[in-house]
């Protein structure tokens, strides 16, 4: 098994956006980043869509991604997506994926939960098809190539009438299927044969929407309603006049679902940030800071709450004690005296003793310099005196 290499395209947020969320879009097996084109155009017409950066990636051997020659599983595909995000700026993101891409989203939510702000699972499930069926598909493609799949695919992918209504989109998508590298496609089939997260999806803890097509024969509307019922807080949306590629058949409706998820995820990140900020800094400090917000500083305060407190301070990799130690050392090193008193108080709230705070400052003196540490000790001494006098 190996982590495959993926390639992507990136669309920036609108020029008027002051801050942006990253939206990562995963395709269905046999399609490319172009699958998301119409829905992305519709999403850009909404306020939520104008404020996001968008990363679209291709599966191995599809579109711009290099061919694969070694087996991989969905854990490795999820790791490949994280690597791609980190190579293009990192951070947390909202993820939406179709069919195969939706299965990657489920794996991301379970394997890398701290990276996701929200999840949209489109025409996908915790297990898709049967191991035997995917093994048969892999054998067919290795013998006859992906063009052998094109004839039977429209009945699975498209609802009745779509090919006549949008012949160019249907034709382009089917041509792309025939151009996919045969071995890479077969390896994707074998990854699907081994994918089954049915027993774990109840552990997903990010805002989740499950989207299905009314006439989808692959992952039925009933299947997806059942999936949503097993994910805490998730809800399902069934789209009429759509089959397995609802994102292509009804792009405006899919865009509306994604816009709602982006708004929900943004609110959740802000609310989480405000909660953590209050727990660490205290209500008095946060209320005082909020009282000073002006129209000119409002966007910055929202950015600070959402990304500093809702993202970095909320990550599970370090406890709050460790984050306070790192923060104090960084502030002393950078000479940010105006922040030190606030974070001495935060360190106490996070469980550090005064002796431990003094030890942090002593250790920092060795690397940041005596004058910087001396000034920090004076600030800490003043904070301790205020606490002793009851001036909190």
Model pLDDT, residue 392 = 63
**pTM, to two decimals:** 0.78
Decide if 251 contacts 42 (C-beta within 8 A). yes
**Residue 78: count of CB within 10 angstroms of its CB:** 23
DSSP characters for 324-388?
A: HHHHHHHHHHHT-HHHHHHHHHHHHHTT--HHHHHHHHHHHHHHH-HHHHHHHHHHHHHHHHHHH
Q: Which has the closest alpha carbon to 227: 122, 146, 313? A: 122
Q: Where are the domains of the chain?
A: 8-267, 280-389
Q: Give exposure, 318-348, as e/b (b: 16+ Cβ within 10 Å).
A: eebeebbbebbbebbeeeeeebbbbbbbbbb
> Distance between CA atoms of 224 and 158, rounded to whole angstroms?
17
Asked if domains 8-267 and 280-389 share a fold, the reply is: no
Model pLDDT, residue 314 = 84
Number of C-alpha atoms within 13 angstroms, CB side, residue 182?
Answer: 11
Q: Which residues contact 289 (CB under 8 A, 6 or more apart)?
A: 301
> Distance between CA atoms of 216 and 231, rounded to whole angstroms?
21
Pick the CATH number of 8-267 from 3.20.20.370, 3.40.50.300, 3.40.190.10, 3.40.50.1820: 3.40.50.1820
Backbone angles phi, psi at 219, to 5 degrees: -120, 100
> Distance between CA atoms of 45 and 61, rounded to whole angstroms?
32
Model pLDDT, residue 268 = 79
pLDDT along the chain (392 residues), means of 10: 92 74 96 98 94 96 97 98 93 95 98 93 98 98 98 96 96 97 98 98 94 97 97 96 98 98 86 90 92 91 89 84 95 94 95 96 94 93 91 66
Model pLDDT, residue 98 = 98
> Distance between CA atoms of 93 and 258, rounded to whole angstroms?
13
Classify domain 280-389 by CATH architecture. Answer: Up-down Bundle (1.20)
Decide if 12 contacts 36 (C-beta within 8 A). no
Decide if 92 contacts 116 (C-beta within 8 A). yes
Which residue matches tokens 């071995």? 183
> Distance between CA atoms of 274 and 278, rounded to whole angstroms?
6
Q: Which has the closest alpha carbon to 21: 98, 91, 99, 75? A: 91
CA-based end-to-end distance of the chain? 56
**CA-atom Rg of the chain in angstroms:** 25
């Amino acid at each position: 098994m190996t982590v495959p290499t993926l390639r992507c395209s990136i669309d920036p947020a609108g020029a008027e956006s002051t801050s942006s969320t990253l939206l990562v879009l995963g395709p269905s097996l046999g399609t490319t980043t172009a699958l998301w084109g119409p829905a992305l155009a519709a999403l850009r017409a909404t306020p939520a869509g104008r404020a996001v950066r968008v990363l679209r990636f291709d599966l191995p051997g599809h579109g711009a991604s290099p061919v694969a020659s070694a087996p991989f599983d969905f854990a490795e595909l999820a790791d490949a997506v994280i690597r791609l995000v980190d190579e293009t700026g990192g951070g947390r993101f909202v993820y939406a994926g179709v069919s195969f891409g939706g299965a990657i989203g489920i794996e991301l939510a379970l394997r890398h939960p701290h990276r996701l702000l929200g999840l949209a699972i489109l025409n996908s499930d915790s297990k898709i098809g049967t191991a035997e069926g995917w093994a048969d598909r892999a054998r067919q493609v290795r013998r006859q190539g992906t063009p052998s799949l094109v004839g039977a695919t429209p009945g699975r992918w498209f609802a009745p009438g779509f090919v006549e209504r949008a012949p160019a989109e249907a034709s382009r998508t089917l041509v792309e299927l025939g151009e996919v590298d045969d071995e890479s496609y077969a390896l994707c089939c074998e990854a699907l044969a081994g994918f089954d997260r049915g027993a774990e999806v109840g552990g997903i803890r990010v805002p989740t929407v499950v989207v299905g097509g009314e006439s989808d024969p692959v992952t039925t509307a009933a299947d997806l309603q059942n999936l949503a019922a097993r994910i805490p807080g998730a809800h399902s949306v069934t789209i009429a006049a759509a089959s397995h590629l609802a994102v292509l058949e009804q792009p405006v409706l899919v865009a509306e679902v994604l816009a709602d998820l982006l708004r929900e995820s943004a609110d959740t990140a802000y609310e989480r940030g405000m909660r953590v900020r209050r727990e660490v800094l205290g209500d008095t400090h946060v209320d005082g800071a909020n009282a000073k917000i002006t129209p000119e500083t409002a966007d910055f305060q929202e950015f600070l709450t959402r990304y500093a407190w809702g993202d970095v301070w909320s990550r599970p990799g370090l406890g709050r004690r460790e984050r306070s130690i790192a923060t104090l050392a960084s502030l002393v090193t950078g000479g940010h005296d105006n922040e030190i008193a606030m974070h001495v108080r935060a360190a106490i709230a996070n469980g550090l003793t005064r002796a431990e705070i003094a030890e942090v400052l002593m250790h920092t003196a060795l690397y940041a310099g005596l004058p910087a540490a001396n000034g920090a000790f004076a600030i800490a001494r003043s904070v301790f005196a205020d606490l002793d006098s009851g001036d909190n």
